[in-house]
């Protein structure tokens, strides 16, 4: 392949580029995850306009399929054109006004990011702090919310930075008793771990496409309860973010279909196909498959004499945090895995920097053969870096 580039003072110079051939990787990190072959095929389909009746139907299909994935019958399901952080920003921008009191359950990086976004939107912030990797009890949730009496409560359901899964039932019950709305970060849980939006009592949930849904990054699915939709319709002050104004996005995607923005057509094709793959497997079957592979993974890790960072009852089935053994350089382990086996995993950051490996087992990689393949290569690499199994 060649391209002619004309620069000032240098006409008709030719730069030669090699063909685009990304290396083959096994994405065992916290995301992005492996993409299903049918999703790649969907990405190759011809695009239509973002107001074309065909695309309007694609959006409707996605919204319907998302209801099953989130576990909701009422309210609204929407898709934000942007990654999971765009969904986070949309949740904050629409349900927090200047001076709104928000109570944040802080125990990892993404609760900190949520806090920072709320701060920039002028919120009055109350935080309950715990070390990264710990979760909150029912009594702690009731006491915190009862004391602070916020208008909005926010927590991270599956914390990507720690591997900890936070139950939301007590948080939502206490929040509703105080008259507050609940925002839940479901970026790492949707598609691999039960979200149970209605049963839990969540009001606003956002996620991403590149983890449990086995789709490329680029979209942020959202679910909004009926009570949250009513709150949104009653809001009189303008949302500070025009692009993330959920009333405008809901009108474009669900009601009038009037132009709001040029949606990424191919990514909607991809998401629709990814959700169809999940629907055909059955969402409960998918959760069970991930639980089985998680158990197999943990059994193998513990057989090597390694420890998990999070207690068993609070682990995310799709994302494992394994403690780095003493004397081992986790960065060298990750580099050797990538160079010799094409396996990508991630390290810790913040307080967990150098202390944990973050290893995802999700989507197409959540099979017994793939877990055994990873464990074999991980053991070999640890041995090469001086760890005695």
Whether residue 47 is predicted with pLDDT greater than 70 in this model: the reply is: yes
Q: pLDDT tens digits, residue range 339-354? A: 999 999 999 999 999 9
Domain 37-280 of CATH type 3.40.640.10 = yes
Residue listed under structure tokens 């590149």:
210
CA atoms of 205 and 207, how far apart (whole Å): 7
pTM: 0.94
Q: pLDDT tens digits, residue range 214-273? A: 999 999 999 999 999 999 999 999 999 999 999 999 999 999 999 999 999 999 999 999
Cα 225 to chain centroid distance, Å, stands at 19
Q: pLDDT tens digits, residue range 112-142? A: 999 999 999 999 999 999 999 999 999 999 9
Q: pLDDT tens digits, residue range 267-293? A: 999 999 999 999 999 999 999 999 999
Local structure of residue 76 (DSSP, 8 states): E
Burial track 201-222 (b if 16+ CB lie within 10 A, e otherwise): bbbbbbbbbbbbbbbbbbbbbb
Residue listed under structure tokens 């019950």:
173
pLDDT of residue 8: 53
pLDDT of residue 67: 98
CA angle 277, 281, 283 (to 5 degrees): 95
Domain 26-32+283-384 of CATH type 3.90.1150.10 = yes
Can you tell me the mean pLDDT for 20-28?
96
Cα 33 to chain centroid distance, Å, stands at 11
CA atoms of 297 and 367, how far apart (whole Å): 10
Whether residue 79 is predicted with pLDDT greater than 60 in this model: the reply is: yes
- Per-residue pLDDT band for 15 (boundaries 50, 70, 90) equals confident
Whether residue 5 is predicted with pLDDT greater than 90 in this model: the reply is: no
Percentage of the chain exceeding pLDDT 70: 96
- Per-residue pLDDT band for 14 (boundaries 50, 70, 90) equals low
Q: Is 153 helix (H, G, I), strand (E, B) or coil?
A: strand
- Per-residue pLDDT band for 2 (boundaries 50, 70, 90) equals very low
Whether residue 7 is predicted with pLDDT greater than 60 in this model: the reply is: no
CA atoms of 146 and 142, how far apart (whole Å): 6
Can you tell me the mean pLDDT for 363-374?
98
Local structure of residue 332 (DSSP, 8 states): H
Judged by phi (left if over 0) then psi (alpha if -120 to 50, else beta), residue 250 lies in alpha
- Are 26-32+283-384 and 37-280 equal in CATH topology? no
Whether residue 309 is predicted with pLDDT greater than 90 in this model: the reply is: yes
pLDDT of residue 1: 42
- The number of C-alpha atoms within 13 Å of 183 and in the hemisphere containing its C-beta is 28
Domain limits of the chain? 26-32+283-384, 37-280
């Amino acid at each position: 392949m060649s391209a002619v580039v004309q620069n000032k003072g240098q006409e008709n110079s030719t730069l030669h580029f090699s063909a685009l051939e990304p290396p083959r990787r096994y994405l065992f990190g916290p995301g992005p995850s492996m993409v299903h072959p049918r999703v790649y095929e969907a990405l190759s389909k011809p695009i239509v306009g973002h107001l074309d009746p065909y695309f309007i139907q694609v959006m409707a299909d996605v919204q319907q399929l998302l209801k099953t994935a989130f576990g909701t019958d009422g309210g609204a399901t929407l898709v934000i054109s942007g990654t999971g952080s765009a969904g986070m920003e949309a949740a904050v921008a629409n349900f927090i006004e200047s001076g709104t009191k928000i109570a944040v359950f802080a125990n990892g990086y993404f609760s900190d990011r949520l806090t920072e976004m709320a701060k920039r939107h002028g919120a009055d912030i109350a935080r309950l702090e715990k070390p990264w990797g710990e979760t909150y009890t029912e009594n702690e949730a009731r006491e915190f919310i009862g004391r602070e009496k916020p208008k909005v409560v926010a927590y991270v359901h599956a914390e990507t930075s720690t591997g900890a899964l936070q139950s939301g039932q007590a948080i939502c019950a206490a929040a509703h008793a105080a008259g507050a709305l609940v925002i839940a970060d479901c970026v790492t849980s949707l598609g691999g771990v039960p979200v149970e939006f209605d049963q839990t009592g969540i009001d606003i949930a956002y996620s991403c496409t590149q983890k449990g849904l086995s789709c490329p990054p680029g979209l942020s699915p959202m679910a909004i309860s009926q009570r949250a939709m009513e709150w949104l319709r009653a809001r009189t002050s303008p949302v500070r973010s025009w692009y993330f104004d959920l009333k405008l996005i809901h009108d474009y995607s669900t009601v009038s279909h009037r132009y709001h923005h040029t949606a990424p057509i191919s990514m909607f094709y991809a998401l629709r196909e990814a959700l169809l793959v999940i629907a055909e497997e059955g969402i409960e079957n998918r959760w069970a498959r991930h639980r089985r592979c998680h158990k197999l993974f943990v059994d193998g890790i513990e057989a090597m004499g390694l420890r998990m960072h999070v207690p068993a009852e609070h682990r995310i089935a799709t994302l494992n945090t394994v403690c780095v053994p003493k004397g081992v350089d986790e960065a060298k382990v990750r580099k050797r895995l990538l160079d010799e086996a094409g396996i990508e995993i991630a390290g810790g950051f913040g307080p967990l920097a150098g202390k944990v490996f973050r290893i995802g087992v999700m989507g197409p990689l959540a099979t017994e053969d793939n877990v055994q393949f990873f464990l074999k290569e991980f053991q070999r690499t640890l041995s090469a870096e001086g760890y005695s199994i």
